[in-house]
Structure 1
Amino acid sequence: MADFGELKRKSLREIWQHEATAFTPWLARNIEALGDALGMELELAGEEVAVGDFSLDLLANDLGTGGRVIIENQLTPSDHDHLGKLITYAAGFGAEKVIWLAETLREEHRQALEWLNQRTDEETQFFAVTVDVLQIDNSRPAYDFKVLVMPNEWQKTAKRRRSAPNSDKGERYREFYQRLIDDLREKHHFTGARVGQPQNWYSFSSGHTGIRYGLVFTQGGKVRAELYIDLGDAEKNQQVFNYLEQRKNEIETDYGASLSWEGLDNRRASRVAIYREGSIQDEGETLDDIHDWSVGELLRMKRVFSERVREIVRML
């Protein structure tokens, strides 16, 4: 007969004593897990960010769209005070996505967020997430993000199609990237992203703010897989790029191919990349080949650069 343990649900305050000094920093360190639950690639942009006389808990970037994301969290059930803060912060940052994370979500607040999702334009999306902390007997506690409110994508898409004519090229990009992120997520656990976008690029988190993996269809008829470096500071960008470039021979040997080392003169950012011929207008087997190449190169980028990026970030 099976011997089962006792499953206990712990209150958030048993785990985190203080919201600003304990819960928010923990959430910042685990922002990728939150993104996975929401189907996004989230990259931290700031903690306790000033908005007039107020302070936003977390500011992030959605790497899939380049849009701003605001995150307001609390260790207690949702309340009117935090709902008001959400609206204030969303306006202050021109946020694309608004995430409210609480211990529990009151029904009236769930209705309020769903109403906002129905009434706002297709560029603004509201989410509500709760955190369950579970423990079996005296084991280490485990957390679970539960998404209770998210936009109705069908309604948003229908609204977008009514307000703007379809772009065949944009739709081809969306379909290509949807297939790419689905494969990377389901087969390789490379990303938590779930929604392809009608754009010529897509970025993925490296686990370090300002350093990303990316796939781009260039205007010159090429496809580029890249490690993109922009920490918001030209000097730090140069330090990271120089550290990697000094190890060019060992990196390219490990990678199994020559790479393009692009310091991007007159620009703050830099990149290490590999290219192939290709266009989103390609058909059939050619586009399938671009897809397979893209998956393979992004996986190689992560394998080769992950630890080396971690080393230089520690040194900054």
Structure 2
Amino acid sequence: MQEIFSRIRLGAYALPNRLVMAPMTRSRATADGVPTELMAEYYAQRASMGLIVTEATQPSDIGQGTVATPGIYTDAHIQGWRRVTSAVHEKGGHLFIQIMHSGRMSHPDNVPGHLQALAPSAIATQEQIHTVEGMKDMPVPRAMTLEDVQQTIADFRHAARCAIEAGADGVEIHAANGYLVQQFFAPNANTRTDAYGGSIENRARFALEVAKAVVDEIGADRTGIRISPGATLGGLDEGPEGPALYRYLTAELNRLGLAYLDVMDWGNSALLADLRTLWHQTLILNRPGRLREQVGADVAAGLADMEAYGGHVLANPDFVNRLQMGAPMNTADSATFFGGGSQGYTDYPTLASHDVW
């Protein structure tokens, strides 16, 4: 396991270890998307991780999907995130803000202005989403015009600039887990007949143009991207061409020299090996359900340069220290994952508190 604790260069930064805090939505921002002091405390508690990737953060009003998620496109958002980044930096940590547009994974009740969701095509998910009034069906989105596509790319660019102004070390583009960018990849969500639909190259075009815009704005060494090949979240089906699309996408993204590729693995070992070969910068691997005794195995085997963990880090602010000492871990309380206050958020005990759950 010792390799996981070794230093690594990621883009513009020298990191103290190869452990990544994976992005996790916690729904504790204000109603207008401003990060709070409690959020600053939460992230600062976990600053010993080599890299923190924040919860999904919308680049625009229409990009919001879930209640009480943060934004990064107004002056108030910048000021709120500045409290977070300052708190993390004071503890010696590094933080990238994940920028995510929800696309069709949304409901007007959750969006400022009660806006209809935007997506590649006017195809609903056939799933439900949490709103302030409880669970509701996600309605049919509005198919994006070419003007919408270009505006959304501009929104990602603007959000990236705002993130840097807020003191973030960089941004991660969310192109995974059923949200807008991945919706362009899936033929059952993208039936467009223009330059953004049909062929593999066309379905990957939006992701590549977003990445290029962000790189042009803040630099490749401060830009990462997350993908989840084969993920069916949000009802997506990437079809038989899915693996070929990700090989093409990865090779094209590699040309941009991004700081990292963050892969959420869903079990396609052959594709993962190909992506490892195609990607020449830092590769972060996130395997859902990975056990404690498996920590460091992918780095040791050369499959990844860094490993990302979610629930373990959520429940253990001192995750790195516990790993190094072989100490027991707290168990995450799923009832407090989304919304609320400090309970199940900033009150998990550390080894220093001499109180292990």
- TM-score w.r.t. length of structure 2: 0.33
Higher helix share: 1
Higher strand share: 1
Name the larger-Rg structure.
1
Higher RCO (Cα < 8 Å, 6 or more apart): 2
